[in-house]
């Protein structure tokens, strides 16, 4: 069974950092590019960042460029999102998803508030 | 990829056909994907590569493409189809995504 499990969310003050993780199982992780997508409460889906299967290519939405860093460890079947200089508008559920959108995790909530 | 535009809402009666459109200048050259999202749940892929249906998705869901517009069609809408639907496209490498704003499907 394919599983994507996000972790690392929580309440954080503006300007601070947080690192999200996504643990993958049930499929060949390094066959897939991976993505982070977020959804603010009551709002639509917003793509955040993507990474190629071998980490050669990483791309970011303008809203997070320079503050967030996506990475992966294929040996650990894991995807990461390092989030720095967090802002209130970064408050959202963060989902990891596979290339093609076949599989999604259940999301982890990040709340940025003082 | 470029911006994708969806209608905010579509309403249909049970048994009728729902059509949700998504327009974008890049769509003639890129595949479109459609997701269904119910409250409190993660998005679920219902159509990929414009017209393909993943295993387990009911046959009443179909996708089509014409120029700059892609369309998700749900034939014989059921109450359980009430959800938010999002279109999405990706660049040729698959590492850059863009989403439409989402369409709330209401089953009257």
pLDDT at A75 over 80: yes
Phi-psi region of A65 (alpha: psi -120 to 50; beta: other; left: phi over 0): beta
pLDDT at B90 over 90: no
Please answer whether residues A18 and A110 qualify as being in contact, where contact means their C-beta atoms are separated by less than 8 angstroms.
Answer: yes
Residue with tokens 């076949």: A102
Query: Which chain B positions have a beta carbon within 8 Å of A97's beta carbon?
Result: 43
Q: What percent of chain B has pLDDT over 90?
A: 86
Quick one: pLDDT at residue A17?
98
pLDDT at B1 over 70: no
Q: What percent of chain A has pLDDT over 70?
A: 100
pLDDT band at B93 (very low <50, low <70, confident <90, very high): confident
Residues 86 through 105 of chain A touching chain B, CB cutoff 8 Å: 95, 97, 99-102, 104-105
For the stretch B22-48, pLDDT in tens is 999 989 888 999 999 999 999 999 999
* Residue B99 in contact with partner chain A when CB distance is under 8 A: yes
Query: Which chain A positions have a beta carbon within 8 Å of B102's beta carbon?
Result: 44-45
Query: Which chain B positions have a beta carbon within 8 Å of A51's beta carbon?
Result: 95
DSSP-derived secondary structure letter, A41: T
For the stretch A19-62, pLDDT in tens is 999 999 999 999 999 999 999 999 999 999 999 999 999 999 99
Quick one: pLDDT at residue B2?
67
For residue B97, the SS3 value is strand
For the stretch B63-89, pLDDT in tens is 999 999 999 999 999 999 999 999 999
Quick one: pLDDT at residue B29?
87
Quick one: pLDDT at residue B5?
97
* Residue B96 in contact with partner chain A when CB distance is under 8 A: yes
Mutate: best of A101, A104, A105, A108, partner B, most B CBs <10 A: A101
Compute the distance between CA of residue A108 and CA of residue B41 in angstroms, rounded to an integer.
Answer: 12
Question: CA-based angle A76:A77:A79, to the nearest 5?
Answer: 105
């Amino acid at each position: 069974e394919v599983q994507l499990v996000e972790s690392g969310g929580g309440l954080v003050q503006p300007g601070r950092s947080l690192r999200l993780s996504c643990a993958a199982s049930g499929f060949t992780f390094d066959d897939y590019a991976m993505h982070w997508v977020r959804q603010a409460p009551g709002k639509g889906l917003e793509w955040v960042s993507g990474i190629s299967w071998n980490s050669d290519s990483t791309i970011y939405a303008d809203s997070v460029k320079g503050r967030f860093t996506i990475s992966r460890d294929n040996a650990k079947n894991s995807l990461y999102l390092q989030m720095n200089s967090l802002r209130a508008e970064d408050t959202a559920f963060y989902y990891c998803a596979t290339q093609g959108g076949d599989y999604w995790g259940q999301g982890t909530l990040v709340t940025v508030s003082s | 990829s470029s911006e994708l535009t969806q209608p905010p809402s579509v309403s249909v009666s049970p048994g009728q056909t729902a059509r949700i459109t998504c327009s974008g200048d890049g769509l003639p050259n890129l595949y479109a994907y459609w997701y269904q999202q119910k409250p409190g749940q993660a998005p679920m892929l219902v159509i990929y590569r414009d017209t393909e249906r993943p295993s387990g998705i009911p046959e009443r869901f179909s996708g089509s493409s014409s120029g700059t517009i892609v369309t998700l069609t749900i034939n014989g809408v059921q109450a359980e189809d009430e959800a938010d639907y999002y279109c999405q496209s990706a660049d040729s490498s698959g590492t850059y995504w863009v989403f439409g704003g989402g369409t709330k499907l209401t089953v009257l």
